[in-house]
Amino acid sequence: MKRLIFVTLLLIVQAAAAQNKAYKERADRAFDEKDYVTSAYYYEKALENKTATTQGTVPYFSTRQNVYEDEKMAGYIIYRLAESYRLYHNLLQAEPWYRYVIDKYVTTYPLSRYWYAVCLRSNKKIDEAIKNLQLFLKDNKDKQYTAIANKELATCLFAQAQIKNPTLSSAAKMQGINGDAGDFGLTVNNGKYWFTSSRSVRGGSERINHLYIADQANPAKVNRVDPGGDTRQQMHYGPASLSASGKLMYFTIWYKEQEKTISAIYYSKNSAGKWSAPQKLNRVNADGYNSMQPSVADDGKRLFFASNRPGGQGGTDIWISDLDADGQPINATNAGSSINTTDDEQAPYYSIAEHKLYFSSKGLAGMGGFDLFESTDTLGSSWTKPHNLGYPLNSTKDDLYYYPDSRDSSVAYLSSDRESECCLNLFKAKIVRPKPVPPPTAILTGTVINCATGKPLQGVTITLLDSLTSQVASYITDATGRYKIRLTARHNYSLRLEKKDYFAKYAPVPAVTTTKVDTLFNPVVCQQEYQLNKPIVINNILYDFNSFELKPESKTVLDGLITILNDNPKIKVELGSHTDGLGTDKANNELSQDRAQECVNYIILKGIAPERIIAKGYGKQVPIAPNTLPNGQDNPEGRKLNRRTEFTVLSNE
């Protein structure tokens, strides 16, 4: 009896082993054929001698009978199972299997920790994902995966920040319209929803994408749209984009051939309620490359689409075609490096009302997978830096096909797999834009005085200048020389001060950067008086003995005169140089002329027009102090006063 029981048990074990070996071999074939749904099923069957785990089961062998005593083979099957789930985008199921690989087989499969972190991020476990990425980077020696892991770490940190600082908008899965598989690419035309779905039809198991339509008032009732055309099996029809009239439809048709996806953009015309057979669109399709996801602008002048055709930045790019009067493409132009990256950009939509391009990108900084972005069209030829739409419009999974409702700016639609283990679903977003914050305001107050006397100047016209909009406001000082001007924006301001017989002057204004400041106090500003043809001494223009070469400190003083000339563009001046009387008349005249000309040359070099300034050397002809004392001795102080440089306003017209 004991021998019989032993033989029976042995036969059972051998049968189970043979069965599980068959499961593994079938799973391997499916994996190699990239049929990851099938490979996941059979790898899981190979781990047990009963039905596969139910959804969400944590895969510890304490819950199942392991028929593989060979740990190496067990590790292989578990890792392949995790990979299968990941590769058909079921990261919720992949996560616990990767965790098991890390616990027991991480040295054999070191990349398992990286992919585990990706699963954690996708499943919104950001902190755990960051921790595992840091561990992976610590142990990993492969430069390629170090770069990839660093990018994923940046994605996690970005997602962490977005979740902590959500926008006011929200997104919820649409009720009634979503089927039992993938639903995506919703647009609105004449009160109807148009979208693509791979829902099962009449109980069938094949997941083929078709075009569907539903009334906005009753989205649960959907009808399939059949433009006809190629009757081959496994032909998929992608999201539709219709002209404003609803008579012309652009869409993608794709299929798989020898494990390679082949896609192209087609169009169909509606006549008497019937769609014509699809015709391949010219210019947007390129032989040997994929074009997809067409989106026609509401004015019918441009078609936006995604393609991996040559001439892009890498991966799939956003492209733009101008359309003729019949809706046919004239050209195909890459949207450029402002929009496209070396990774994938897809699902474009252009809003004419907003002058914005909405699209999805894997290459720009995002929360993971495809993120939604917007960029503004500038002059029809360039785009602003793309702006991430933020959380919760974006998620840690794929988010595509953003479509703002043109009739209601508070509504938009998008497609996301955030609540799915496999596929995109349709979401409706409530767009809440933050109320515009009024720019901070402040009162600018200050005083204007006479530079020579220090007394307040009345009647000075003060003009507030905005660097963006030129003149903003003006004010005239009272008897106290004071002024008050209200500032209303975060712009760069300056003041222009003007008064008859005084040099005009510009003065900077402190920036208004906070609403907490209600008064800005400008320093006291002085204005210098002048009279036509009356010389004004410029102090501290210094030279070495018998030299006309300007010293550095002299150039600094001349910069002040240059400021006056720039602030008073109509005045013309003479720059005169005087000597102290030592030496011959000829020597003094030549030296003074050289010194005056050296000053003028410096001023012209700084941008002052030559016709506005002349050089005049006076030698020792016009002293302002005696060179000798009454007793006949030399007068050094007098000679010092006579060695001077002056400027004289010749005209102000």
pLDDT in tens, 117-141: 999 999 999 999 999 999 999 999 8
Task: Please report the pLDDT score of residue 511 as a whole number.
Answer: 67
Q: Does one domain contain both 287 and 389?
A: yes
| Residues 502 and 622 occupy one common structural domain | no
Model pLDDT for residues 387-399, shown as the tens digit of each residue: 999 999 999 999 9
* pLDDT the model gives residue 369: 95
Neighbour count for residue 91 (Cβ, 10 Å): 25
Whether 69 contacts 94, CB under 8 Å:
no
pLDDT of the residue at 471? 67
Higher pLDDT, 60 or 332: 332
Let me know: does 167 contact 392? Beta carbons within 8 Å. Answer: yes
The residues near 140 (Cβ < 8 Å, ≥ 6 apart) are 110, 114, 146, 149
47 is a domain residue: no
Where do runs of H (alpha helix) occur along 568-652?
585-605, 636-642
**What is the reported pLDDT for 202?**
63
Q: Which residue do the tokens 């002293």 mark?
A: 623
pLDDT for the residue 470:
67
Q: How confident is the model at residue 61 (pLDDT cuts 50, 70, 90)?
A: very low
The Cα–Cα gap between 412 and 404 comes to 4
- CATH number for the domain that contains residue 273: 2.120.10.30
pLDDT in tens, 178-215: 998 999 999 999 999 999 999 987 655 568 999 999 99
| Separation of alpha carbons 329 and 56, rounded Å | 49
* Residue 554 domain-assigned (yes or no): yes
The yes-or-no verdict on residue 6 having pLDDT over 50 is: no
Whether pLDDT at 2 is above 50: no
DSSP string for 233-266: TT-EE---EE-TTSSEEEEEEEEEETTEEEEEEE
CB 482 within 8 A of CB 446: yes
The predicted structure's pLDDT at residue 552: 86
Which pLDDT belongs to residue 307?
Answer: 98
User: What is the pLDDT at residue 233?
Assistant: 61
- The CATH number covering residue 579 comes to 3.30.1330.60
Phi, psi of 80 (to 5 degrees): -65, -35
Q: Which residues pair with 526 in a beta bridge?
A: 449
Please state, in angstroms and rounded to a whole number, the distance separating the CA atoms of residues 521 and 74: 77
- 210 and 299 belong to one structural domain: yes
CA-to-CA distance for 120 and 520, rounded, in angstroms? 52
Q: Are residues 464 and 412 in the same domain?
A: no
Pairwise CA distance, residues 197 & 566, whole Å: 69
- Nearest C-alpha neighbor of 157 from the set 129, 182, 183: 129
Distance CA 619, CA 119 (A): 88
The pLDDT value recorded for residue 203 is 55
The total of structural domains in the chain comes to 3
Q: How far apart are CA 98 and CA 103, in angstroms?
A: 9
Identity of the amino acid at 340: N
Residue 9 clears pLDDT 60, i.e. is over it = no
Alpha carbon distance 607, 611 (integer Å): 12
DSSP 285-339: --TTS-EEEEEE-TTSSEEEEEE--TTSSSSSEEEEEEB-TTS-B---EE--TTT
User: Which H, E and C letters describe 518-583, residue by residue?
Assistant: CEEECCCEEECECCCCCCEEECCCCCCCCCCCCCHHHHHHHHHHHHHHHHCCCCEEEEEEECCCCC
Last residue of a domain, one of 404, 430, 456: 430
Q: What pLDDT digit, counting tens, does each position of 399-444 carry? A: 999 999 999 999 999 999 999 988 999 999 999 998 887 777 778 8
Residue 372 and residue 266 share a domain? yes
The answer to whether residue 403 is domain-embedded is: yes
Q: Rounded to the nearest 5°, which phi and psi values hold at 196? A: -115, 145
My answer on whether 209 and 296 are in the same domain is: yes
Q: What is the mean pLDDT of the chain?
A: 88
Asked, for residue 85, whether it belongs to a domain, the answer is no
pLDDT at 466: 78
Q: Tell me, what's the pLDDT at 562?
A: 92
Q: Residue written as tokens 């007068």?
A: 635
Do 505 and 497 contact (CB within 8 A), yes or no? yes
pLDDT at 71: 83
Please say whether the beta carbons of 80 and 27 come within 8 A.
yes
Residue 41 lies in a domain: no
What does the pLDDT read at residue 232? 59
Task: Report yes or no: 511 and 523 within 8 Å, Cβ to Cβ.
Answer: no
pLDDT at 467 over 80: no
- What is the structure's pLDDT at 44? 93
pLDDT of residue 358: 98
CA torsion angle for 62, 67, 71, 73 (degrees, to 10)?
A: -130
Give the mean model confidence (pLDDT) for residues 582-600.
Answer: 93
Task: Please tell me the least confidently modeled range out of 44-58, 235-249, 354-368, 402-416.
Answer: 44-58
Q: How confident is the model at residue 513 (pLDDT cuts 50, 70, 90)?
A: low
- pLDDT at residue 55 above 50? no
Spatial distance between the Cα atoms of 389 and 373, rounded to a whole number of angstroms:
5
What is the spatial distance between Cα 189 and Cα 405, in angstroms, rounded to a whole number? Answer: 10
pLDDT digits (tens, 9 = 90+) for 72-115: 899 999 999 999 999 999 999 999 999 999 999 999 999 999 99
Q: Are residues 584 and 635 in the same domain?
A: yes
Q: Give me the residues paired with residue 286 across strands.
A: none
Domain boundary among 466, 500, 527: 527
> Which pLDDT tens digit goes with each residue over 137-163?
999 988 999 999 999 999 999 999 999
Q: In terms of domains, do 211 and 329 share one?
A: yes
pLDDT tens figures, 535-554: 988 887 877 778 888 888 88
Quick one: which H or E segment has residue 447?
A: strand 442-450
Q: What is the pLDDT of residues 432-447, one digit of tens each?
A: 998 887 777 778 888 8
- 384 & 415 share domain: yes
Q: What is the pLDDT of residue 195?
A: 98
- Assess contact for 556 and 542: CB atoms under 8 A: no
Residues 502 and 579 in one domain: no
Mind giving me the DSSP string for 163-224?
HHS--S-EEEEPTTT--SS-EEEEEEETTEEEEEE---STT------EEEEEETTEEEEEEE
Residue 75 to residues 56, 114, 554, Cα–Cα distance (Å):
20, 17, 83
Question: Can you give the pLDDT at residue 522?
Answer: 59
Q: Are strands 613-619 and 572-578 parallel, antiparallel or unpaired?
A: parallel
Determine, yes or no, domain membership for 454: yes
CB 412 within 8 A of CB 431: yes
Residues 495 and 633 grouped into a single domain: no
For range 371-379, the mean pLDDT: 92
Could you tell me which residue, 250 or 636, shows the higher pLDDT? 250
Q: How confident is the model at residue 586 (pLDDT cuts 50, 70, 90)?
A: very high
Q: Give the pLDDT score at 556.
A: 86
Same domain, 587 and 606: yes
Residue 206 resides in a domain? yes
- Angstrom distance (rounded) from CA 336 to CA 386: 12
> What's the CATH code of the domain at 468?
2.60.40.10
Dist. CA 114–CA 163, nearest whole Å:
22
pLDDT for res 469: 55
Contact between 237 and 227 (Cβ < 8 Å): yes
Which segment of 143-152, 177-186, 363-372, 502-511 scores lowest on mean pLDDT? 502-511
Asked if residue 360 has pLDDT above 60, the reply is yes
Q: Are residues 123 and 367 in contact, defined by beta-carbon separation less than 8 angstroms?
A: no
What's the pLDDT at 396? 97
Higher pLDDT, 94 or 494: 94
The band of 12, judged by pLDDT with boundaries at 50, 70 and 90, is very low
Give pLDDT, residue 11.
41
Residue 495's pLDDT band (cuts 50, 70, 90): confident
Sign of the dihedral defined by the CA atoms of residues 395, 399, 405, 409, in that order: positive
**Token pair 């897809």 in the structure block, residue:** 346
Residues 6+ apart with CB under 8 A from 586: none
Whether 567 is in a domain gets the answer yes
Looking at residue 56, its pLDDT comes to 37
Domain boundary among 483, 508, 527: 527
The torsion angles phi and psi of 170, rounded to 5 degrees, stand at -145, 160
Which domain covers residue 452, as residue numbers? 442-527
Average pLDDT, integer, range 307-316: 96
